[in-house]
Structure 1
Amino acid sequence: MTILLAGCGDLGTEAGLRFHALGHRVVGWRRSPSKLPAAIEGVAADLGAPGLPPVPADTTAVVIAVAADSPSEDAYRAAYVDGSAHVLDALERDGVQPGRVLFVSSTAVYGDAGGGWVDEDTPTAPVGYSGRVLLEAEQLIRDRFRGTATTATSLRLGGIYGPGRTRLIDQVRSGSAVVPGDIRYTNRIHRDDAAAAIVHLATMAAGLAPTYLGVDNDPADLGTVLRFLATEMGLPEPPAGDAGPARGGNKRCRNRLLRSTGFAFTYPSFREGYRAVLAGTGVRHP
């Protein structure tokens, strides 16, 4: 059985290593395949352009895990909408019908919920171009496989943190972090748990739902997270003030559907996850 990773950056590579550890052949499409570890068969591919490489005939699952080159609507559309369309065109061209196509999306498709809870049944209401474009890509993929034997599923991830993704840690360390004056909920997932969720959904025996929320168990208030990081690093508590607009909207995402599949988090909350990140960066706890 072959797993095709259409987009094989940091998250895709981590997922690929986990697929390989389970005994799967893993093929990774990316512009610079030489950067991939030996466990992943790297193939040079620009998903933003048509005419992608041949799809292995025995491909059982495709994971579309792309990333935009820049934070602009045009870049997002080129990566997520055009990139996904080109992958689907390649499957059709080569007559390959995988059992599953998993699209890595974002909780940005929900917009702001005023601090309320959202889940897979909550109507989408993106407020920015990122959520709108991702939602368009989700629909594109779903429409292409409607009425076929292929299951199309979107995994809507919260903010990914982990090795190399230390934005909040860096803000606290530099003294630029600001605790919002209001309660501002955030939703996140450690990179390793995000990769594990991709592998779990792509390989589990049971049937898949159209959508899953990929967030940890604790949609914590941003101020709580910042104060925790300061304490862990032995630094002063960040000041309260104007923290600017909320990234991704103020909402609390439920992961109940993902957990109902038997998925278990290595880092069920930001506390376990950030402690592991801090240990990896060599930061000494007081």
Structure 2
Amino acid sequence: MVFSMHKLIIGCGYVGLSVAQKWLEQGHAVSALTRSETHAHEFEKRGIRPMMGDITQPDSLKGLPESETVLYAVGFDRSAEKSRREIYVEGLDHVLTEIKPRTQKIIYLSSTSVYGQSAGEWVDETSVCEPERENGQICLDAEQMFEQHGLLPNGAQRETATAVILRLAGIYGPGRLLARMQQIKASEPLTGRPDAWLNLIHVTDIVNTILKCDTDIHLESHYLVSDSRPITRQEYYETLARLIKAPLPQFAEEAPGQPALKSQRMHSTERAAGLNKRCCNKRLREELGVELVFPTIQEGLPQAIENT
């Protein structure tokens, strides 16, 4: 039996909305923070209680409700006219200061960009995090806010919440493939190395991981959330092209250090140079016990395309 509890989502977007729907189906009350009146009306239609506020404005967070679980899934919103550091690090600091006395568990969505490995190495939760790029360093600085607030599990009893950090690989799923599908159909050359590694995770498996973390089980502080088979960019785009019956993709040759064209912005999981890393999901599967619905793109891409 599932007992009704209150859940709070901060960053109720592509992943957050799917989690909210599952929580509502389980009979829980769900609130979501937003600074948009339009989003507030959309949330109300879905049965989600909107809370007006802005993570970069601490005073606007005073009314956040007590919640058994907080899902923190804030992405970078260019329309906010704030820097990544202001949103990811300072905004998180504001939220944690406000909510940690009023919740039991915080599930935080981070990124595999915290790893700096770029020669095709395998990485897991124990691998060193020395990101070379500013975005990765900001993500790592955000993760460290949980340690500064004393929220990561360390075996000690605490009076405040416990947090779990989910390092997500590149997210795909229904509605997240349109730009690439159009590019391949138009036979536009793809930037970046075709032999570089991609680490991906279907949105359904992210949602299931979050729901698993929201149960009464032992949690480690970090989980790497990626599917079971990293693939090269070439294999990924060739598979996508076959599924949508488009010409096989061509990769543009770039001079070393030359940035990608603005019209061909790289996917967040791609690198212009280097082989990237390969993510191991052993802890996710064997310790957390998540059984992936889409363990590879062979299962996940057809579903994503069909529902896009």
Q: Same fold (TM over 0.5)?
A: yes
Structure 1 unaligned residues grouped into runs of 5+: 282-286
Counterpart of 2:197? 185
Q: Which of these residues, 201, 207, 223, is aligned with residue 195 of structure 1? A: 207
Distance 1:126 1:68 in 2: 18
Coordinate RMSD, CA, aligned: 2.4
Q: Secondary structure at the match of 1:99?
A: strand
TM-superposed deviation, 1:12: 0.9
Higher mean C-alpha displacement, 131-140 vs 39-48:
39-48
Distance 1:162 1:268 in 2: 13
Q: Which of these residues, 26, 30, 52, is aligned with residue 30 of structure 2? A: 26
Counterpart of 1:284? none
Within a 5 Å distance, the mapping from 1:104-123 to structure 2 comes to: 104-123=109-128
Q: Which amino acid aligns with 1:64?
A: Y
Distance 2:74 2:50 in 1: 15
The answer to whether structure 1 residue 216 and structure 2 residue 227 are counterparts is: yes
Structure 2 unaligned residues grouped into runs of 5+: 255-259, 261-265
Pick closer, same or farther for the CA change 1:39–1:265 going to 2, 3 Å: farther
Distance 1:71 1:113 in 2: 31
Pick closer, same or farther for the CA change 1:26–1:71 going to 2, 3 Å: closer
Percent identity of equivalent pairs = 30
Counterpart of 1:257? 283
Higher mean C-alpha displacement, 143-152 vs 14-23:
143-152
Count of residue correspondences: 276
CA shift digits 1:21-48 (9 cap, x unpaired): 2222211111222222433212112112
TM-score scaled by length of structure 1: 0.88
The answer to whether the 8 A contact 1:116-1:252 is kept is yes
Q: Which amino acid aligns with 1:209?
A: E
Q: Secondary structure at the match of 1:235?
A: coil
The answer to whether the 8 A contact 1:151-1:208 is kept is no
TM-score scaled by length of structure 2: 0.82
Pick closer, same or farther for the CA change 1:258–1:177 going to 2, 3 Å: farther
Counterpart of 1:278? 305
The answer to whether the 8 A contact 1:267-1:273 is kept is yes
Distance 2:80 2:188 in 1: 25
- Deviating above 6 A after TM superposition, structure 1's stretches of 4 or more consecutive aligned residues are none
The answer to whether the 8 A contact 1:193-1:265 is kept is yes
Distance 2:279 2:124 in 1: 6
Distance 2:78 2:193 in 1: 30
Q: Secondary structure at the match of 1:125?
A: coil
The answer to whether structure 1 residue 164 and structure 2 residue 175 are counterparts is: yes
Q: Which amino acid aligns with 2:119?
A: G
TM-superposed deviation, 1:104: 0.6
